[in-house]
Structure 1
């Protein structure tokens, strides 16, 4: 395993170069060390103890990684979530800047003929990782998604930028009760995230993550047209912090939530993958072929792939951050301007340093 670590004042991020996953992220804030990202419990176990057919991206499952395509690679042969999530990256540049650190990495594989670069930026005293991915050249089209994962020991509360609706697929991730379990209705749909159809009737609240709900669920949130950044905020109860994930909705119009809380009984999950939430911002349907063909999101007017082409460059950006939080309630509003992020909850507001130009809100979308 090869790890590349970058640091700025108050933050460090490590990338596992064997698969392109963020192996660790540490934010120093308020005298505390916050570690907002997940690391699979089997990572340090001998490879021979894990199923032989397990993709390398699952063997090394951690933090966040780029999916290209998202889910099945059924157009160009590659493992689940594509080569960016399963194969080696090289450091092409890594150096201190006037206000932090910037590092660039290149995927050894090409994706649909395109060269893929990852650019990570840290800024002094900013509790955020700023990410950009660039696809140069290639042919056809590619679906993409970020795959940040966090884990909780005591559950958490969620809040989101405005969404048009939430929907599940036709089939659950684990339909066989001998292998796992789920709690949401499939298919299901709701415009009220606090009342989503449940498998057994009634509704469930997508803004609450409860540790007693043993489940493997997957639900897609479609961004509303609100003119600001798309964001997800998770107040982790036991950890006493707030995880923030941000995007430009014009680039990544959906947020897919993966609730993995002891809902798979087979190896390597074995009921021990607990308290995990994936907050997966993407431009995708499930599977490469579905993303570039007809799919339910396209019928809703939602883009599910980027077009690639010789001489073209396609890029998109994403942000992950963490700050201390007491009281356990996520913000009701998140706005960014003038180098600050303002969070509002009830009658209180607070601000943190933020590169408010990074997500390019209101600018033309690449590709």
Structure 2
């Protein structure tokens, strides 16, 4: 991986792609196991696809996680899908590697709606957590943002979430005729979302086969931590994704399970679960996010308001641990006294070190 920037410390290794700023791969060492929570598309080394400029580079090099600004397609200004943050080169400003942590700071090579965007990626020795911070300074207008981690699912899984007030789909199907969720629809019960064949439990993976589905979950209340956890059966581990819900009030789930039959997907993008924490109007679009929309009507903001001397800081964390014996699913995740605490449905707990003040200072 000579073309990538590698951050390595005891127990963690991350490869960054400065060409587009994404996380190419993430590996945590747990005893004699390597845990790889994130997905890489099967075509990323295909010369024909890499040379095809009709495909956005974020899709040609689709892997891991990337920062979207704006999220998805923009109908406000001309951008590739998911913005230049996911398609443009980043300048590496600083790299620090020692026995305690490894860190890289980068700056996007072009402005986003007039704003300067910087990135910090960090792993710490003996801690199975990837920390990311994006800072958006100045600019103008309303900007949608989201992280885009993709979890590889070799088999079944069980999802759990911080409290949500609403789950909703919009009227546009991602891929018509290959959907297991109903469009449009909404529910306050994540275990019973409308589907064309009957209610769908969003806690179970997969929700379908040969499908491509997209749904937005809206955070409830003013909890200090938003989270998603996935117990992966085949991998026998737990992947968890953490956010500040005040900054990223929605979590969008993308079920990519063979539904896209066109290039470069060609029906081979299978068993991929996107867990996309953002400040957006979901699938309604960038312009819709700047005004009235379904997400905003539920009581949260759907865009970051940019302006001169205005700074937005977006913190995000992704981790993975071996599944402890008898854990069916994660009931709660909390932060207390520099510790991240995962609690099972039976009340058992796993405690990990967590970077002090990472969320909300």
TM-score (normalizing by structure 1):
0.93
Is contact 1:40–1:60 with CA below 8 Å preserved after alignment?
A: yes
Structure 2 counterpart of 1:195 = 192
1:88-138 CA-partner distances (Å, limit 9, x unpaired)? 111101113673122101111110111110011211111101111011221
**Whole-angstrom CA distance in 1 between matches of 2:249 and 2:343:** 23
1:218, 1:50 → 2: CA distance?
29
> Would the alpha carbon gap of residues 347 and 311 (structure 1) be closer, same or farther in structure 2, given more than 3 Å must change?
closer
- Does structure 2 conserve the Cα–Cα contact (< 8 Å) formed by 1:157 and 1:328? no
**Deviation at 1:15?**
0.8
Among 311, 315, 320, the alignment partner of 1:313 is 311
The match for 1:289 is 287
Q: Which residue of 2 aligns with 1:359?
A: 359
Kindly tell me: are residues 288 and 344 of structure 1, through their superposed partners in 2, closer, same or farther at Cα, counting changes over 3 Å? same
Q: Is the 8 A contact 2:44 2:50 kept in 1?
A: no
Alpha-carbon separation, structure 2, partners of 1:231 and 1:46? 37
Classify the secondary structure of the residue corresponding to 2:294.
Answer: coil
Partner SS for 2:123: strand
Q: Matched residue of 1:197: which SS?
A: coil
Give the aligned partner of residue 347 of structure 2: 347
CA apart distance, 1:12: 1.1
Classify 1:309/1:198 alpha carbon distance in 2 versus 1 (closer, same or farther; 3 Å): same
Give the match's secondary structure for 1:297.
Answer: helix
| Residue matched to 2:151 | 150
Aligned residue in 1 for 2:233: 237
Per-residue CA deviation, residues 259-282 of structure 1 (Å, 9 max, x unaligned), is 011111112111110100000000
TM-score (norm 2): 0.94
RMSD over aligned CA atoms reads 1.7
Gaps of 5+ in 1: none
Instruction: Give secondary structure in 2 for the equivalent of 1:75.
Output: coil
Q: Deviations over 1:36-72 (max 9, x none)?
A: 0000111011135875421110111100000000111
Distance in 1, Cα, partners of 2:207 & 2:213: 14
Task: State the partner residue of 2:54.
Answer: 53
Change (3 A) 1:190 1:4: same
Specify which of 261, 264, 269 is matched with residue 268 of structure 1. 264
Residue of structure 1 equivalent to 2:109:
108
Q: What is aligned with 2:330?
A: 331
Gapped runs of 5+ residues in structure 2?
Answer: none
CA distance 1:139–1:98, shift in 2 (3 Å): farther
Equivalences for residues 41-80 of structure 1 within 5 A: 41-48=42-49, 52-80=53-81
In 2, are the aligned partners of 1:158 and 1:233 still within 8 Å (CA)?
yes
Deviations 1:145-195 (A, max 9, x none): 0000011111211011111111111121011x4xxx110011111111111
Could you report, residue by residue, the CA deviation over 1:227-281 in whole angstroms, capped at 9, with x for unpaired residues? 2310000011111111010001000000000001111111211111010000000
Structure 2 counterpart of 1:29? 30
Partner of 2:245: 249
- Native 8 Å contact 1:166 1:190 kept in 2: yes
In the other structure, the counterpart of 1:228 is 224
Q: Which residue in 2 is equivalent to 1:12?
A: 13
